[in-house]
Amino acid sequence: MKTQEYDCFIIYSRDDQEFVFTKLIPFFERNNIKHCEHQEHFIIGCHIIECVDTCVRQSKRVVAVLSESFFKSGWCKFELDFARSYSAMDDVPNFVITIKITDYDIPVQYTFRSSAYITYVDLSEDVNDKRKWRQIRKAITDIP
């Protein structure tokens, strides 16, 4: 059994960093959820693909913050595809947790609702929905 250093790796668009740094990361810190994200944890001089691989493999879960900007970013889609592939290859159920933060139709190839490897939370209508934040915490911390 491999040991992961982080509870989760956060994938997000630069356009959504306000949500990540004012809502998501403070929530993780209040709940003792150890996270990594690219601004703080990618190693300067290391190829981005190698950094993504390292962060995914060192994390128990991947949290993807979904928005229109996310799906316009080639790197965000690459990181999400990488995490989905890792989850399927290593048969890790509920490895990817997706948090939708804007009212945006998710592209059909990224529709997750039927996947055994994805947990989906929609905060686009109410970013302060306490029940959904509890669902996020549970999805990250309930590891079999």
Q: What is d(CA 40, CA 106) in angstroms, rounded to the nearest whole number?
A: 28
Position 56 scores a pLDDT of 82
Position 17 scores a pLDDT of 94
Position 4 scores a pLDDT of 78
pTM of the entire predicted model: 0.87
Q: Can you list the residues of the chain whose pLDDT is less than 50?
A: 1
- The closest of 42, 36, 85 to 59, measured between CA atoms, is 36
